[in-house]
Chain A
Amino acid sequence: MTETTEQVRRDATVRVFRGEDRTSGQFVEYTVPVDPGMVVLDVMFRVQQMRAPDLAVRWNCKAGKCGSCSAEINGRPKLMCMTRLSSLPPAEPITVAPMATFPLVRDLVTDVSFNYEKAKTIPAVRLAPPGPDGKRRMFQEEVDRVQEFHKCIECFLCQNVCHVIRDHEENKEAYAGPRFFVKLAALEMHPLDTRDRIEMIRAREGLGYCNITKCCTEVCPESIKITDNAIIPLKERVVSEFYDPLAWVKRRIFGGPDDGAKEPAAVADR
């Protein structure tokens, strides 16, 4: 149990970003008492209760299920509710900063509306009709890979760490980011979905910007293999759709990116 495996800390010193913009804001140091087993979010609560009642922190479930409390802890993108103090070096202050890729609201809270806007660009699932008994049949083996993508808790840590938008604000317009490549992969690999989103994945969602550095996979708290299982298969589909000479001939003859079985989703289609 925790008492034996954890180095015993009596208090913790945290350096927390405070302020309403990134240039005038600064890190403020707080030292508060802690108990065994605590996570970083517990320390933020202690700071609120004992030192800074107005410290802005976004959180909900405190169980790693809602993805609200994303932050950069000692420079690493993590959920505050799942980061045990015992996992951090005891001798140094713990640095807690807001996610860098999104505009700052205040303290540790950022404006993540970028993600909600991107979500609106993705054409929803459209299933083939059910069987005569009104039920649909899918087998666990084909459902498994989609279920991996459905584990996503939308913490947006993958979006935060992706250098395509972290370092280049100008790319945000034309790039959906790893979270939405996972979403698109889930739709594309749904065994009963009838839509074809390959053209829009290439042209509008900016899959080509990703150069597979796997930063997103490394920070995913749900351990979704974002790069290997979502992004690379989508890239392969784009390649075979657009750069495969046979597919090119087929498109010349039959027209459009449609493979005949799937209905192409218009780029602006919602």
Chain B
Amino acid sequence: MSAAQRAEHDEATYDVIVIGGGGAGLRAAIEATAQGAKTAIVCKSLFGKAHTVMAEGGMAAALRNVWPEDGWDVHFRDTMRGGKLLNNWRMAQIHAQESPDRVLELEEWGAMFDRTPEGLILQRDFGGHRYARLAHVGDRTGLELIRTLQYRAVELGIDVLMECNVQRLLLDDGHVAGAFGYWRQTGRFILLRAKAIVLATGGAGRSWRVTTNSWESTGDGLRLALEAGADLMDMEFVQFHPTGMVWPLSVRGLLVTEGVRGDGGTLKNKNGERFMFNYIPEFFKAETADSEAEADRWYQDKKNNRRTPDLLPRDEVARAINSEVKAGRGTPHGGVWLDIASRRSADYIKRRLPSMYVQFKELADVDITKEAFEIGPTCHYFMGGIRVEADSAATTVRGLFAAGECAAGLHGANRLGGNSLSDLVVFGRRAGLHAAQFAAAQRAPGAVDPSDLDAAAARMLAPLERQDGEDPYAIQSDLQDTMQDLVGLIRTQSELDEALVRVRSYRDRLSRVSARGDAKYNPAWNLSLDLDSMLTVSEVCTRAASMRTESRGGHTRDDFPTADPEWAKVNVVVRRKDGELSLQTEPLPQMPADLKEIATGEGKATAAAAPQTT
């Protein structure tokens, strides 16, 4: 690229730029603005369309509206146990302590949660949460969250750069200096200078064939962070949500909220057996009903009965479904049945789960108020991501912060449902706060090296300049098959080895990729660039999965089927050294004794308030 071409780019300067327009990015930008920082949100899609809209069931917070016995300590304990104790304890503590305030703040900004008979915010049951804890709006809680934050950002006059795709972070002597990318609508380049940057780019499920994730979830933030020198952590832990649609093929993977089970739905195999009773792990035996009779009573009387195993944490349920299907007890299209119609009235289902009703009716010709429907595991969430300092959301690169799904630590080896939306606002706020404080201490954004811009621009333009190269859609499709088949819910060494060989061959093909047409709203070109992130994340995930020779949470090894106490002590950390990826284990931060007692014991509040465990 010539200097003249480079001069073509747009340019803007901010104190803080937030990359990502979902819940975490919006909350970060709102906080940074409140702190007085000149802030912009940069997002790949239109404003308010980010993947957060897909969140359905609710956001977890110990508001104590439904169960006065609840408290931050119980929420902390549930989160740690759900994460198989691999969580960053401090993040789990902050999350549990601050999420109630973040929910009330959303209400202040206009969110309309469902109500209790007393007029307070209603809370719903979800997997792994001891008490009904999820503030929700029917089954469209994510939409309410993003719309509320979106209009709060509008009220504050925050600049929003829509359909703008960041391709490279710029550093000045190891500090963040800005970002370089392009506008999707015109293809023009844009240089953003900033004193601090918050990454809030979400997950990377698009590399799997069967996923709940939208096209945006390509893991851009993970690649940008890695290239800037930040650490990634826990990248082997990928959550497969137990209940995605399986038929028709057009909607395979589409999310079916855990709220269906929270509100009374049960899982059955093709023989009509409630198979979850056969899959209760030792770890959760004390708090889980061991007979259908007790589980049925629990729906009526939650104080004196233990909860149904249908609401075990997601990793347990997804593995159980997988085992049933493998054993030949699956449904016609390779899933299992989810049945809410036989417990709840049509009115109840339509009121509590309106979009599930419409989704099945319109896309699958199935009436969930009348019959059971087929579901199966679907790639949903990255527990791993960018390693951050718990209190400040700071990465290991100065001036670079990360929050939401692209950050690691809070969820450990497995995330509980409902803990994602609360994660977004708790750590989005902290990232915005600390980014603004960091920016305030800098005199000006760092210097931008023109050769960095040349290199970034040349890389971006290459797919447009190349004739008759590899087809980006074909590479994406092959990658999705590979990750689905070889780095899925159940993993084994030989398959991981094969996956790595294939992912590297796609990298080779990507170097010859060609996008027909020009740069103006050209999805083939956009995908060619996104594939760089998808391949980086796929390689990191595969190598981390090879390294962890045990089964824990969202990482299950056929060849190492049990949890290994030695692996309970370490995270797998990934960084780039001299252009090469390096993976190593590092010890978990030590949990203080009092928190350890809450996490591993019954916990004081819990023991006193939970007769169902005795």
Contact = CB atoms under 8 A, between A and B. Distances in A.
Given A54-B516, A65-B143, A82 B109 contact: no
B515 A68 contact: no
Given A109-B521, A135-B104, 12 more contacts: A2-B248, A20-B520, A49-B474, A53-B473, A54-B525, A60-B51, A61-B54, A84-B362, A124-B109, A134-B104, A151-B140, A270-B157
A60 B45 contact: yes
Contacts of B140: 65, 151
A53 B249 CA distance: 22
A12 interface: no
A246 interface: no
Interface residues of B, number: 70
Nearest to B255: A63
Interface stretch (B114-122, B170-178, B303-311): B114-122
Contact of B523 (A2, A48, A120, A124): A48
A1 B53 CA distance: 28
Q: Which label, helix, strand, loop or mixed, suits the secondary structure of the A interface?
A: loop
A53 B472 contact: yes
A111 B517 contact: no
Interface in B122-151: 137-138, 140, 142-144, 147, 151
B53 A61 contact: yes
A138 B119 contact: yes
Determine which residue in B49, B108, B157 has the highest number of CB atoms from chain A within 10 A of its CB, and name it. Answer: B49
Contacts of A150: 112, 137, 143-144, 147
Interface stretch (A33-41, A167-175, A204-212): A33-41
Given A65-B355, A138-B115, A139-B119, A56 B110 contact: no
Given A54-B516, A58-B46, A190 B110 contact: yes
A62 B104 CA distance: 31
B364 interface: yes
Interface string A58-85: 1111111111100000000000001010
A84 B471 contact: no
A119 interface: yes
A2 B250 CA distance: 11
Interface stretch (A21-29, A140-148, A250-258): A140-148
B370 to A, nearest CB: 14
B186 to A, nearest CB: 9
17 contacts: A1-B248, A36-B248, A38-B248, A49-B477, A53-B523, A53-B524, A57-B523, A60-B49, A63-B251, A68-B46, A84-B363, A116-B162, A136-B107, A140-B114, A147-B138, A150-B137, A270-B157
Interface of A: 1-2, 5-6, 20, 35-39, 42, 48-49, 53-68, 82, 84, 105-107, 109, 111-112, 116, 119-120, 124-125, 127, 130, 134-140, 143, 146-147, 150-154, 187, 190, 270
* Ranked 8 nearest A-B pairs via Cβ: A37-B248, A54-B517, A137-B119, A53-B524, A125-B110, A124-B155, A56-B521, A66-B49
B365 interface: yes
Contact of B154 (A1, A57, A119): A119
Contacts of A190: 110, 112
A136 to B, nearest CB: 6
B248 A35 contact: yes
Contacts of B214: 60-62, 66
Given A53-B472, A119-B154, A140-B115, A127 B108 contact: yes
A139 B185 CA distance: 44
